[in-house]
Amino acid sequence: MPETIVLDRPLTFQEIAAVARGAALSLSDKAWQRIADARAIVDALVQKRVRGYGINTGVGALCDVIVDIPQQQRLSRNILLSHACGVGEPLGREETRAVMAAQIANFSHGYSGVRVETVETLLALLNADILPVIPSKGSVGYLTHAAAIGIVLIGEGEARHDGEKLTGGQALARLGRVPLVLGAKEGLSLVNGTPCATGLASLALVRAAHLLDWADAAATMSYENLGAQADPFAAAPLALRTSPGLQAVGENLRRLLSGSALLARSAGSRTQDPLSLRAVPQVHGAVRDSVAQVAEVVNRELSSVTDNPVVAGSPEAPEVHSQAHAVGAALGLALDALGTAAAELTAISERRIDRLVNPLVSGLPAFLAESSGVSSGFMIIQYTAVGLVAENRRLAAPASLDGGITSALQEDILTHATPAADKALAIIANLETVLAIEVLAAAQAYDMQSDPSGRAAGTNDLHGRVRATVPVYRDDRPLNTLVSAVQALLRSGVSED
């Protein structure tokens, strides 16, 4: 049975990511009650004809056009259909589930005013893994992505289930449900808020955090092959710099390199190692600190109401407040920072790869080839790493500064949180590939040491795991197939325990 995440309090990014990977989601009785109470307030706003954006008015630049009760259901439907204009390849399964989970979490705060039945249907689709097809491009914020989910609830659009493509109506029928007829405000709520960016950010964080230990592991393997300083990551001097991330990296490096005969033999042959080796605690540590800061932002976003407008009060005294809580400025800035941090980690990894394959500095056979000249070894895979670093440099340009003007000057500042999440995910995917190349190259370097028996216990274990996955490279197969195999290894934990 899959794990079940119970939504009673605000979810964390780790819980959103767990649902994305396949855990079931359920709502507590209190959460359902909050949703029902907010809907009662919307119904009261409608009956009392209290003006509320997207409830009894148009949206965007049409916010001053009054929509009376007979047309409010049509307004909700039309909002979904007109906003479902995304383009490009669809989001993957995990990305789609993450967005849906964050959307349900946002409704569960009890300030959106969607009906219980609407959230039940969305939850049923998620837990049955019947997933709306969400085009990945065309959104400056969240509207097109969210609309692609919402139209399935009314029997339109497309969904996927076990590799089969379904119409929205077929998807609902598979659950024994019929298309919803949305009430006032529901169309707007279904396309509103920051759940799209928050869901994708949760995945980006979990994927990045998982690679942090592997980045440290790859660095220790490279350092043991190339390093020359005696006790370069000693605890006392590292403690002089205040950084939780730096201290965590230093501890990892010391643990994995403890007892290394290779380093004992080379100690003192160089006064100071190059920065790509010597500055691992400072660079990797800074990335860890950045990831922790982004995690705080994403968790705050998950605990926040990001709908507009929000409803409050009671059915007897209903309130509606037009704020800008759907603006994802905090997420855009944080995700830009996450992308930059992951790009930095990719860059230092590539520099270590170059040192491993470069006979001018490595002291090892050129390009880690067994027969130099006849074999090119790791010469061109380093080009691949350089290409991915360059791509990450381009992707790391901040999305949050892109700006733009939409809806006839009504929405005249845009913060691009969803595009920031999208490119952070792309940068992290490139990071995984470059780390796999470094791990593979470092394992090859070990096998070319004049005395490869001097590995530390920690790095010896890492080398063994690599060799249990891929053989020594002899120009006998496409090298990218071995990189793919090591990438699969990286998706497991650094420790086998």
SS (H, E, C) 306-349: CCCCEEEECCCCEEEECCCCCCCHHHHHHHHHHHHHHHHHHHHH
CA dihedral sign of residues 102, 207, 487, 497: negative
| pLDDT band at residue 266 using 50, 70 and 90 as cut-offs | confident
Q: pLDDT tens digits, residue range 273-305?
A: 999 999 999 999 999 999 999 999 999 999 999
In the predicted structure, residue 352 carries a pLDDT above the cut 60: yes
Percent of the residues in the chain that have a pLDDT greater than 90, as a whole number: 76
Angle of CA points 442, 286, 378, to nearest 5°: 20
Q: Is 241 helix (H, G, I), strand (E, B) or coil?
A: coil
Note the pTM of the prediction, 2 decimals.
0.94
Cβ contact 414:468 at 8 Å = no
Q: pLDDT tens digits, residue range 80-117?
A: 999 899 999 999 999 999 999 999 999 999 999 999 99
pLDDT score of 45: 87
Q: Which residues pair with 489 in a beta bridge?
A: none
DSSP summary character for residue 160: E
Cα–Cα distance for residue pair 255/410, rounded to 1 Å: 56
DSSP summary character for residue 298: H
Angle between helix 195-226 and 143-153 (nearest 10): 120
For 24, 103, 127, 129, the CA distances from 21, given in Å and listed in that order, are 9, 16, 11, 11
Give the HSE-up count for residue 473: Cα atoms under 13 Å, Cβ half-sphere: 30
CB atoms under 10 Å from CB of 158, counted, come to: 19
Give the HSE-up count for residue 2: Cα atoms under 13 Å, Cβ half-sphere: 16
Cα–Cα distance for residue pair 84/91, rounded to 1 Å: 14
φ, ψ of residue 26 to 5 degrees: the values are -135, 155
Tokens of 134: 């969400």
DSSP output for 155-219: T-SEEEETTEEEEHHHHHHHTT-------TTHHHHHH-SSHHHHHHHHHHHHHHHHHHHHHHHHH
Letter string b/e over residues 47-61, b meaning 16 or more CB atoms within 10 A of that residue's CB: eeeeebbbbbbbbee
pLDDT score of 387: 98
Cβ contact 496:465 at 8 Å = yes
Q: Give how far the C-alpha of residue 195 lies from the chain's centroid of Cα atoms, to the nearest Å.
A: 13
Cα–Cα distance for residue pair 345/290, rounded to 1 Å: 11
Q: pLDDT tens digits, residue range 452-470?
A: 789 999 999 999 999 999 9
pLDDT score of 497: 43
Query: Who has greater pLDDT, 56 or 165?
Result: 165
pLDDT score of 402: 72
Return all residues near 46 (Cβ < 8 A) that are at least 6 apart.
Answer: 55, 56, 69, 72, 184
Total residues found in the chain within this entry: 497
Tokens of 126: 């998620």
| pLDDT band at residue 400 using 50, 70 and 90 as cut-offs | confident
In the predicted structure, residue 404 carries a pLDDT above the cut 80: no
pLDDT score of 493: 78
Angle of CA points 5, 10, 11, to nearest 5°: 40
In the predicted structure, residue 257 carries a pLDDT above the cut 60: yes
Alpha helices, H only, 70-194: 72-83, 93-108, 116-127, 143-153, 168-174, 186-191
Q: pLDDT tens digits, residue range 193-242?
A: 899 999 999 999 999 999 999 999 999 999 999 988 868 899 999 999 99
Q: pLDDT tens digits, residue range 148-187?
A: 999 999 999 999 999 999 999 999 999 999 999 999 889 9
| pLDDT band at residue 371 using 50, 70 and 90 as cut-offs | confident
| pLDDT band at residue 322 using 50, 70 and 90 as cut-offs | confident
In the predicted structure, residue 52 carries a pLDDT above the cut 90: no
Q: Is 53 designated active site? A: yes
Q: Is 420 helix (H, G, I), strand (E, B) or coil?
A: helix
**Domain architecture of the chain: domains with CATH:** 4-192 (1.10.275.10), 205-318+327-490 (1.20.200.10)
In the predicted structure, residue 65 carries a pLDDT above the cut 90: no
Cβ contact 133:167 at 8 Å = no
Rg of the chain over Cα atoms, rounded to whole angstroms, equals 26
Cβ contact 108:118 at 8 Å = no
